A and B are shown apart, each in its own frame.
Chain A
Amino acid sequence: HPFLSPQDTVDRLLRLHFRDGRTRGTGAAAGGPGRAGPCRAPASRNRLVLAVNADAQLLMAELLKVFVREAAARAARQAQAEDLNKVDIEQLEKVLPQLLLDF
């Protein structure tokens, strides 16, 4: 698979949603000709969340794995309770509310 390392993926996934990071990114892209990629404004201007520590990235990767396994295992259990051996959207829909409440 031509993708990023798990750690890199987690880092980018999180940065994608950091509210302050995103506003900074688009601002730089609109005003900075010749600069490649999203640029970061100086840290001193507003002290906001700038980075995710390496251990935190690994731990987040672990937490996301737990989340996916929980979703899959609960849906599988639901399917088995209905005497099915194929998990479909329906089974997932049934376990989703509790899953989201647990995380």
Chain B
Amino acid sequence: RAAMAAAGGEQQQMLTQRLKAAVHYTVGCLCQEVEEDKDVQFSKQSIAAISEITFRQCEIFAKDLEMFARHAKRTTVTTEDVKLLARRSKSLLKYITQKSEELASSNMEQKEKK
């Protein structure tokens, strides 16, 4: 039974590594955009650090989303919960709300097509 649990843990660890790699890759792409935009260079270590920070921030985001959904007695995380994450910054909230409306309206269009 312990072996099974260990195998589960190993699987979990592999998934974590894979996700970290995915985050690192995307962060690299985004940093490249900023490099071109601002005419600076990012050291490898600084990109790795941003990835690690982002990965850890995900934990905070996930736990908040979970609590927000439960607070609303829902079992599914919705865009409303994501909007709550962005509540601290006015401009961020505005941006996220706008994106959310775009998503909602593109969903409507797709439904109409069907």
If over half of A's interface residues share one DSSP class (helix, strand or loop), that class is named, otherwise mixed; here it is helix
What band does the interface of chain B fall in when counting residues whose beta carbon is under 8 Å from A? Answer: 35 or more
Instruction: Verify A1–B39 contact, CB threshold 8 A.
Output: no
CA distance A79 to B40 in the complex (A): 8
A-B CB contacts (within 8 Å), total count: 191
CA distance A79 to B50 in the complex (A): 15
B75/A38 in contact, CB under 8 A = no
Size of interface on A: residues with Cβ below 8 Å to B: 62
Assess the A92–B50 pair: CB atoms within 8 A: yes
A14 to B82, CA, bound (A): 12
List the interface of chain A (C-beta within 8 A of B).
1, 3-4, 6, 9, 12-20, 25-26, 29-30, 33, 37-38, 43, 47-53, 55-56, 58-60, 62-69, 71-73, 75-77, 79-80, 84-89, 91-92, 96, 100, 102-103
